[in-house]
């Protein structure tokens, strides 16, 4: 069983990231080899990084950090549901990443990005550079969703089409392979 955490990247009221994460989680129901949990940063509500010590020391003071650390620690793999703000990654995902260090290492990360014409691809490229510093392995296989709002109905439910579902499937295959390959490095 691969423990997969789906992490959203935005926290604003009405954020669409939560609807897209719910769809990814729904698609994963037909992949029972993954044990899935959605971590919505809008609900987790981390303050701006407020730990005194460098995260690599893992000497966390605050309950919110310890809770976040435990969630990321138990993961074998990640999918980040990534928006694009001003041609880059939204601040909340960078903040959530910066809180921790060893917990991210030797684990693969796939991206489901969304936005206008660019489909969030500039944001993905920027975040890849950050996560490699933490020894997280970002995957080239990604799901990029341009003009994402066309898949969202009046109830704020996101429903991807067959081609998006296929892209999720291809990314999952790679996530599973990388998670298995990297596991020995974490022991
Ligand atoms: C501050 C801000 C900056 C944005 N910049 C971009 C951008 O550079 N590229 C893009 O495709 N969409 C951009 N958008 C539009 C977002 O794609 C859209 O609002 C999306 O819903 C954001 O994700 P969220 O709903 O999870 O917050 C921006 C939105 C906001 C609020």
Q: Ligand 1, residues 23, 85, 90: which to mutate, most atoms within 8 A of Cβ? A: 85
- Find out whether the beta carbon of 156 lies less than 6 Å from any atom of ligand 1: no
**Residue 89 predicted with pLDDT over 90:** yes
Give the architecture-level CATH label for domain 2-186: 3-Layer(aba) Sandwich (3.40)
Entry pTM: 0.98
Q: Rounded to the nearest 10 degrees, how much is the dihedral formed by the CA atoms of 32, 166, 71, 34?
A: 10
pLDDT in tens, 3-50: 999 999 999 999 999 999 999 999 999 999 999 999 999 999 999 999
In the chain, % of residues over pLDDT 70: 100
Helices (H), ranges, the chain: 17-27, 41-44, 63-73, 91-98, 121-132, 162-182
> 89 alpha carbon to ligand 1 midpoint, in Å?
10
Q: Whose CA is nearest to atom 15 of ligand 1?
A: 115
d(CA 76, CA 102): 13
Residue in the block written with tokens 């669409």: 16
Instruction: Give the atom of ligand 1 at the shortest distance from the alpha carbon of 149.
Output: 21
Residue 161: predicted pLDDT: 97
Residue 187: predicted pLDDT: 83
């Amino acid at each position: 069983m691969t423990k997969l955490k789906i992490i959203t990247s935005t926290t604003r009221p009405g954020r669409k990231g939560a609807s897209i994460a719910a769809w990814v989680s729904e698609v994963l129901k037909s992949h029972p080899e993954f044990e899935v949990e959605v971590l919505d940063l809008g609900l987790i509500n981390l303050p701006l990084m407020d730990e005194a010590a460098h995260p690599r020391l893992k000497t966390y003071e605050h309950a919110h950090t310890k809770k976040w650390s435990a969630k990321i620690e138990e993961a074998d793999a990640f999918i980040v549901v990534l928006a694009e703000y001003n041609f880059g990654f939204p601040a909340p995902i960078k903040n959530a990443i910066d809180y921790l260090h060893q917990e991210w290492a030797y684990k693969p990360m796939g991206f489901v990005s969304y936005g206008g014409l660019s489909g969030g691809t500039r944001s993905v490229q920027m975040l890849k550079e950050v996560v490699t510093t933490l020894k997280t392995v970002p995957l080239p296989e990604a799901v990029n969703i341009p003009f994402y709002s066309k898949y969202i109905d009046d109830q704020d439910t996101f429903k991807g089409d067959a081609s998006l579902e296929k892209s999720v499937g291809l990314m999952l295959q790679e996530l599973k392979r990388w998670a298995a390959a990297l596991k020995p490095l974490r022991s």
